Chain A
Amino acid sequence: MKVLRFILQKEFRQIFRDKTILAMMFFVPTIQLIILPLAANFEVKSVNIVYVDHDHSSYSEKLINKIGSSGYFHIVGAPASYLEGMKFIETGDADLILEIPSGFERNLVREGSQKVNIAADAINGTKSNIGNAYLNVVLADFSNDLDIRFKLPPQSASVSPSLITLNSTNWYNPRAEYKYYMVPGILVLLLTLIGGFITALNIVKEKEIGTIEQINVTPIQKWQFILGKLIPFWIVGMIVFTVGLIVIYLIYGIFPQGSFLVLYLFAGVYLTALLGLGLLISTFADTQLQAMFIAFFFMMIFMLMSGFFTSTDSMPNWARTISEFTPVTHFIKVVRLIVLKGSGLQEVGRELLYLIIFAVVLNSLAIYNYRKTS
């Protein structure tokens, strides 16, 4: 026990001596947590549209006015031809082109139906789908208006009210604000970055400088050494997590709905797992650069596959399996559940089990592998 205390003392001194690292650990995450949620927003608020009006009639004008005032669209231009319209798409200034053919008004009045052409920049699938859906709504509305205004014989009255209405209620986040979803996720991500990167660099640094040789010749047990590396960063991580919770309360007004005890239990186990991974990377790498790249590799996978950005449900099965094998997936899920919905231990107990398995396996591997390389 005494040996462990000495190692801890040494590690703490090292951490607090290096002011830059200390700042990186506390300020960078805090600042990112404050500002990033403002930027992370999937919501498509307005779709840029250009229209090509070949008809120049009062109907086409009305339709365009309706599009402009619908609140969904931002009209960025009125090119004379489709080809000119394409220029807007090519430069990325517009997402949609609406082409109103000549004879639009005449055909609509005489025959009751008329086609219009829509071209959408489909590289960003979400945006083009939403834009198209909005435009369809406006077009349907427009023809409905015509119906009511010009052909209102009694029999058509039975057409308009819908048979089935959908009453939708939003739980947990009635105004559907994106920040509530993003902020807890970003907190997890930042904790992951700190835990993963800093420990990954730690042992390697001693290898590169050569101080690890000195430790290896002392009668310290391997597990004591690993524990000595683990505990200080674990404490730092828990402090960062706490600071993060305070920040999201002060800035975003998000207060965990669930129990703090459960939240901290998860955070503690998660950090242990993550630091184990960092230490494991550290025992593999020869240089800090290697350690950094391996850590980067895992962090990228963690970030992009954890369900932080895109839902894991919509991934192909094999990708979902990979996603299940990253501790971040479970922790992000749990933090969102606890913070936003107030889930308790009985609902998320299984996730805790996963994280405990990760923690045990990763740390055992780190101890085992460290023994081998020394």
Chain B
Amino acid sequence: MKRLLAFIQKEFYHVFRDRRTLLILFGLPVAQIVLFGFALSSEVKNIGIAIQDNSHDIHTEKMIQKIQSSSYFHVENPILNYNDIENRFKDGSIKCAVIFPSNFGSDIQRLGGAKIQVIADASDPNTATIVTNYLNAIIRDYQQELNPSAKLNYQIIPELRQLYNEQQNGSLNFIPGVIALIFMIVSTALTSVSVVREKELGTMEILLVSPFKPIMVLIAKAIPFLVLSIINFIIIIFLSVYLLDVEIKGSFLLLFAESILFIITCLSLGLLISNVTNSQQTAMLISMMGMMVPTLILTGFMFPIENMPWIFQAISHVIPSHYYYIIVKAVMLKGLGFSYIWKETLILAVMTVLLLTISLKKFKIRLS
């Protein structure tokens, strides 16, 4: 036991001696959570739109005013001609063009109906759909104003309650996701170089002839990183609460315990990578390049997993951050207790044990 402590102490020295790495390690998550907490949102605002009004009557003017006053749109200079639309789509300055035909107003009065032409740049289908929906809503609104007597005989009035997010905070969904992503990458990458560095520098041989059991070596390697990650966790939570105004609705202790579990899972994954690679460069490329994009996409906070082809749904089930994201969402944002997340917890625990066992096996092979 004493020897293990001494060994852990040595590893601590190693980690804490490197001030610059520490600075980066703590600085990055802070910068990221602040940046993304404020900047990311699934809302779509300020969409560039250009209007061609060939009618210039009271109806078109009122509608244009409505479009202008909406925060969804940013109305650019009027369209000159058909070619102008294409040019401006091509330089990316507008996403949508609205054309009122020349006899729009008189058509409403005389024929009782008129048409508006909307051309959306669907190279970005998400924005195109949203733009069309917004425009539809604005026009429906205007129509109601025009003809308030045309009320329906039957009416179902929906009363909406926004659960968990009354203020419609657009970044709420991203915060648990970014937390999961940062831990996943930072913790995994940190440990992924730990063992392989000793291999590269040749100090591995010394470890191998020492009286330590492989498991001790792994534990000693992982503990300083665990401590670092816990400090990181506290900083991140602190920022989320005090800077981004995300209230922790559930138990902090539960969140803390689950986070430690997740960090250990990531550290185990890092150890495994470290054990199967032969150079720091490879280890880092695997843990960063190989895992960053898939983790980002398959954690579930960017893209809805239930829409994906089954194969991705299957892959998302082996990505630890997927479960941690569910846990953070449940505890932090929904205020739920352990009984709701025991399944995810169990899966993370099993993953951890599995990863550690495989690391140990691989480590032993290198011993012989």
On A, residues with C-beta under 8 Å from B are 18, 20-21, 24, 28, 32, 35-36, 38-46, 63, 89-92, 108, 112-128, 132-133, 135-136, 139-140, 142-144, 146-147, 150-151, 156, 158-159, 161-174, 176-178, 180-181, 186, 189-190, 193-194, 197-198, 201, 205, 285-290, 292-297, 299-301, 303-305, 309-311, 313-316, 319, 322-323, 333, 336-337, 340-344, 347-348
Contacts and interface: CB of A to CB of B under 8 A. Distances in A.
Contacts of A21: 281-282, 285
Given A168-B132, A193-B293, A292 B284 contact: yes
A18 B281 CA distance: 11
A173 to B, nearest CB: 4
Interface string B119-151: 111111111110011011001001100110010
A193 B289 contact: yes
Interface stretch (B4-12, B108-116, B360-368): B108-116
A333 B172 CA distance: 27
A122 to B, nearest CB: 4
B142 to A, nearest CB: 7
Contacts of B146: 163
Interface in B138-192: 139, 142-143, 146-147, 150, 152-166, 168, 170, 172-173, 185-186, 189-190
B89 interface: yes
Contacts of A165: 113-116
B308 interface: yes
Nearest 4 interchain pairs by C-beta: A319-B39, A170-B122, A176-B125, A122-B165
Contacts of A309: 40, 302
B45 A313 contact: yes
B31 A297 contact: yes
Contacts of A296: 28, 185, 189, 288, 292
B118 A166 contact: yes
Contacts of B284: 197, 201, 288-289, 292
B118 A205 contact: no
B139 to A, nearest CB: 5
Given A39-B312, A164-B114, A311-B124, A24 B90 contact: no
A227 to B, nearest CB: 22
A21 B334 CA distance: 44
A39 B189 contact: no
Given A92-B326, A193-B289, A341-B89, A136 B123 contact: no
Contacts of A347: 87, 90-92
Contacts of B74: 313
B298 interface: yes
Given A38-B308, A161-B113, A166-B136, A314 B46 contact: yes
A347 B94 CA distance: 13
B106 interface: no
B32 interface: yes
B125 A178 contact: yes
B308 to A, nearest CB: 5
A90 B113 contact: no
Interface stretch (B17-25, B203-211, B232-240, B255-263): B17-25
A164 B170 CA distance: 32
B48 interface: yes
Given A142-B156, A310-B41, A313-B44, 14 more contacts: A116-B157, A117-B158, A121-B163, A125-B165, A140-B156, A143-B154, A151-B153, A158-B150, A163-B143, A167-B117, A173-B128, A197-B288, A293-B21, A319-B38
Contacts of A198: 285
Given A32-B293, A125-B172, A115 B159 contact: yes
A44 B153 contact: no
B340 interface: yes
Interface string B237-281: 000000000000000000000000000000000000000011111
Interface in B282-336: 282, 284-286, 288-290, 292-294, 296-298, 302-304, 306-309, 312, 326, 329-330, 333-334, 336
B47 interface: yes
Contacts of B120: 168-171
Contacts of B212: none
Contacts of A294: 24
A159 B116 contact: no
A118 B38 contact: no
A139 B152 CA distance: 12
Nearest to B156: A139
Contacts of A314: 41, 43-47
A313 B48 contact: yes
Given A161-B113, A181-B123, A316-B38, A28 B289 contact: yes
A190 B47 CA distance: 27
A259 B38 CA distance: 38
A177 B125 contact: yes
